[in-house]
Structure 1
């Protein structure tokens, strides 16, 4: 039988996790010293430390520097957490709703000052303006304006049929991987012409999310302006002291 390709620290992570699940280490218990634990599992301190880092990231343990490692209760995952960059397509599907598009419009424009500042290009540079309404179970729930430098997108929209996630489209056809985004959330005026596209019910309210999306070396890739129905979308963030 061939040697396992699974990293040794992940095997130790699995053993530690199993011990916690069996109650051998209970909530609040402190692990023995790193030296003792590494010796008991027959691995180096570095390997054991890497396993603990995985458990810490998963919320199974908390490491208090200079004190020790303690077993803790993992918190529930926050739905629609702002900490995770997620496409509108995935958010709609995660809510078990049928995602769709309407009123798609793609045009070339000269870059406006706000767009240029966020994209780090010159005012007047050619950009592609991509507008569309996103639907969930047939109702309009998002109006999106996406501004993409022409130098990046080229004629990808002209050559390829587009629908669904813009993040995935850019990654596939422009070979650019989106890694993170800076996000600003504001409340638009109801007189905003884009906001009005979503005011389909008397109780409807709208949030405005402005995002600059960056690639792996932190270059701005595109600037998105999304109007989202607040009666459909809820966004949360977990804060720590």
Structure 2
């Protein structure tokens, strides 16, 4: 059934792109469309719900289903979980990095609360400066429980995306993150690493990352230059 939903979804999208279904046009009745595709009404309805969620169809109950103009994509949307490296590449800048430290230590109370472990429990603490076109643009502190990290960091060869590292080396796919947006004080020593120019301002993302079983697996503090990166979020009623 699920495969049929996606086939119908793709067919409707093709009809929209070709102009067979135009902006503002009302679709034929659900019963008629289900018969045309040779599926149940529920299967067709599921495909419509996917397109409605993507903002391509508008369902007015008792009136009909209409083709609508999709909203433009938001660049650097905070709704999509992405690595710092990916954000840098999306900004069309040359990515680089340098490690500040990688060590096992006792967990701080703040990180312990976020990760659901005890203060002073062993964690891997990874600090990195990320650069773009040779200038530091981000500073990250990443805290991973040692019970999750194991000895994967012991060789000291880590670089690149932590999201990929979790999935490929630790077997834990990071699926979601809760992010708090803060404005750090200019006297914050981590913030000062990025204050290179008079116009530079810094945003701080405090993030708890969860795996696909909703278990917290990573706590991060990401300091980002706001004169380099602009973040947006789409709000709905």
Same fold (TM over 0.5): yes
Greater Cα shift, 114-123 or 57-66: 57-66
**5 Å matches for 1:153-172?**
153-159=149-155, 161-172=157-168
**5 Å matches for 1:172-211?**
172-211=168-207
Aligned residue number for residue 101 of structure 1: 97
Q: From 112, 119, 122, give the equivalent of 1:123.
A: 119
Aligned residue number for residue 6 of structure 2: 10
Aligned residue number for residue 3 of structure 1: none
Greater Cα shift, 172-181 or 45-54: 45-54
Greater Cα shift, 32-41 or 133-142: 32-41
Give the superposition deviation at 1:38: 1.0
Distance 1:93 1:52 in 2: 34
Q: From 65, 68, 71, give the equivalent of 2:64.
A: 68
Give the superposition deviation at 1:160: 6.0
TM superposition score normalised by structure 1: 0.92
Q: Which runs of 4+ in 1 moved over 6 A?
A: none
Distance 2:84 2:179 in 1: 14
Greater Cα shift, 12-21 or 151-160: 12-21
Distance 2:117 2:63 in 1: 49
Q: How many aligned residue pairs are there?
A: 236
Give the superposition deviation at 1:39: 1.6
Aligned residue number for residue 229 of structure 2: 233
Where do 5+ consecutive residues of structure 2 fail to align? none
TM superposition score normalised by structure 2: 0.93
Distance 2:204 2:190 in 1: 10
